[in-house]
Structure 1
């Protein structure tokens, strides 16, 4: 399941080696959220994590983001310890809730990480304008979050995550609270944005069709204690070129069925351990 090297000899975007996370509760009781998880994500690759609630998907994402510390094992991001990658702003993060500041405009929210890291006003404005155009909100730069739909708010959150030109996006169910139609539009937007930025993505989702539509590979996790049950190479072509018609393609439905069977502990012929890179 682990790729040994990245294309062109570059350091992997993410390299998780033998990671476990045990939480200790009151009276000494412990819960093993992750157990001996190893995974490598190549630069520019889109990898989704999927599994039942409580399987450790979000915990793994938080460990990669250095928002938590593994009990055992190692995590490197572009060859650096996770903490150093966070300090160097090598990745951007987007969560299920957009988390926009209500007193700042669209442009102001996108500029925030640049402002916090000392970028000048002109540079902040130029970068925000570039990202606002990228996410298709040029007519809403001066609007406030409460004047935006849920989908538009998530576009702003994605733009903010891209503000410092990260080579990696960490996304924890960013479309989970959206209606199905808006969710599909946002999926289309995300594959376009990833194609234009060439960022690697680690994406947590509960939706099998979403994972298949977006991903180069889908990582299927087992119930707690979270382990990687299998990895499916989706094989639907360049993610940046995927469009609405893909959802009606026979290969798409076949991949959805494969992931569904893997989630239930069954391995379709040719699915187990398939890699795309």
Structure 2
């Protein structure tokens, strides 16, 4: 299991990463081109951009589910592969991926079971996480007895089972209806405030990225590059509630991200938006 990380070591450091996928003919497809990004411990960073811009590819590289063609990736000062071996991060995808023959508790216990944690410790940790995600009455239910939002709560709880200092999330709410999606965003804000885990979050939704994040990384169409980074500035996770969606600062950040995403189409210089970090 992961150990506590010091605040002076970045949760994620991506330096000059390029990923080229080989093609049968020609020079291949460049999914990412010279991407550099640092994520601080406890920071929530969203990746947003048009389809095919390399958001999910970047997340997979950080997770050591793929390897860069060039450049380097460190997670808490370690190569990505070592961080995976040390279970320093948890992963949640768009599909909850729960095992249908296991109960809620059984699904959450799975990563602990795979790593040899004893039965009593597994049960205690699962109970703690079930309470954290608000499913205390559903511990013995099976996935087909749960709504889509509840299944995603189980998946998030499972990703937290080994107390990771980093969560990697690839559109975990993308398949949910809008009302459920907003409730899950509120839930994730609460969970992040309690666990203090850093998060790298892939999304296509501008409001979702702004509501959840300390910074929003706006990516360009393929080959994926970082166009700009918007510092959202909406305060600590513990203070973010439903009323934030009506806040003037929220709408200001929405406009910044929207202009960066659509600036080329509107003839706007995307790096000229006020209040934006360019890298």
Structure 1 and Structure 2 fold alike (TM over 0.5): yes
- Aligned residues, how many? 269
CA offsets per residue over residues 220-272 of structure 1, 9 Å max, x none? 00000000000000001112320000001111111101100011233454233
CA offsets per residue over residues 48-68 of structure 1, 9 Å max, x none? 000000000000000000000
CA offsets per residue over residues 108-142 of structure 1, 9 Å max, x none? 00000000000000000000000000000000000
Residue 249 of structure 2 corresponds to which residue in structure 1?
Answer: 251
Residue 123 of structure 2 corresponds to which residue in structure 1?
Answer: 125
8 Å contact kept, 2:7–2:41: no
**Residue 21 to residue 274, structure 1, CA distance change in 2 (3 Å):** closer
User: CA shift at 1:26, angstroms?
Assistant: 1.8
TM-score by length of 2: 0.94
Residue 71 of structure 1 corresponds to which residue in structure 2?
Answer: 69
- Rounded to whole Å, the distance in 1 between the matches of 2:115 and 2:95 is 23
User: CA shift at 1:25, angstroms?
Assistant: 1.8
- Rounded to whole Å, the distance in 2 between the matches of 1:95 and 1:49 is 14
User: CA shift at 1:28, angstroms?
Assistant: 4.6
- Rounded to whole Å, the distance in 1 between the matches of 2:231 and 2:127 is 36
- Rounded to whole Å, the distance in 1 between the matches of 2:22 and 2:277 is 33
Moved more, 175-184 or 20-29: 20-29
**Residue 268 to residue 139, structure 1, CA distance change in 2 (3 Å):** farther
- Rounded to whole Å, the distance in 1 between the matches of 2:194 and 2:164 is 13
- Rounded to whole Å, the distance in 2 between the matches of 1:271 and 1:231 is 10
Gaps of 5+ in 1: 1-6
Runs ≥4 in structure 1, deviation > 6 angstroms? none
Gaps of 5+ in 2: 264-269
- Rounded to whole Å, the distance in 1 between the matches of 2:157 and 2:232 is 27
SS at 2:230's partner residue?
A: strand
Residues 1:16 and 2:20 aligned together? no
8 Å contact kept, 1:49–1:218: yes
CA offsets per residue over residues 65-95 of structure 1, 9 Å max, x none? 0000000000000000000000000000000
SS at 1:206's partner residue?
A: coil
Residues 1:229 and 2:227 aligned together? yes
8 Å contact kept, 2:112–2:122: yes
8 Å contact kept, 2:21–2:30: yes
Residue 175 of structure 1 corresponds to which residue in structure 2?
Answer: 173
SS at 2:276's partner residue?
A: coil
Residue 56 of structure 1 corresponds to which residue in structure 2?
Answer: 54
**Residue 239 to residue 9, structure 1, CA distance change in 2 (3 Å):** closer
Moved more, 114-123 or 26-35: 26-35
The equivalences for 1:24-63 within 5 A come to: 24-63=22-61
User: CA shift at 1:171, angstroms?
Assistant: 0.1
Moved more, 7-16 or 66-75: 7-16
- Rounded to whole Å, the distance in 2 between the matches of 1:254 and 1:128 is 40
Residue 185 of structure 2 corresponds to which residue in structure 1?
Answer: 187
SS at 1:229's partner residue?
A: strand
Residue 198 of structure 2 corresponds to which residue in structure 1?
Answer: 200
